[in-house]
Amino acid sequence: MTVGERQWRLVEDYSIVADPRERFQIIVETAAAAAPAFPEKARVDANLVPGCASRVWLEAVALADGTVAVWIDSESPALRAIGSLLARVYSGAPPQEILETEPFFIGKLGIDRLLTPTRQRSLRRLREGIVAKVSFLAAAGT
């Protein structure tokens, strides 16, 4: 399944809740619980995403099959939930696909309209962090 297909699946799954605020609340309550646990050995300062209001950790590793595994965690429940959705969308994809595919599901689900400017900035920084880590992995040829 491509990154785009995973995003459309998220949109379909969460769009059954019509009210955007209720939808976001459900995302916050359920998304992080369904995500793989963030590796404790990766919870280091070097994996903190700079420029976020809350601490947000990001780890990405190359897998033997040429894809990337992504983990995201945060002290903020909202960022933890959105991060878990980002990890679900990008994990298992090849680096080039991750780099070329923006997370459109955030706008389609109306998540962006419910975030404060500070959280929106954190979300941008998180995407920038994903791009930086995956670009490094791609350049390293791993």
Total-model pTM? 0.93
Asked whether the beta carbons of 83 and 126 are under 8 A apart, the reply is yes
pLDDT digits (tens, 9 = 90+) for 50-84: 998 899 999 999 999 999 999 999 999 999 999 99
Q: Identify the structural domains of the chain with CATH numbers, from first to last.
A: 3-140 (3.90.1010.10)
User: Distance between CA atoms of 81 and 58, rounded to whole angstroms?
Assistant: 13
At 74 the pLDDT is 94
141: left (phi over 0), alpha (psi -120 to 50) or beta: left
At 17 the pLDDT is 95
pLDDT digits (tens, 9 = 90+) for 6-48: 999 999 999 999 999 999 999 999 987 877 789 999 999 999 9
What is the arithmetic mean of pLDDT over 89-96?
97
Give the torsion through C-alpha atoms of 54, 100, 114, 42, to 10 deg.
-20
Asked whether the beta carbons of 84 and 72 are under 8 A apart, the reply is yes
User: Distance between CA atoms of 70 and 36, rounded to whole angstroms?
Assistant: 10
What is the arithmetic mean of pLDDT over 85-91?
96
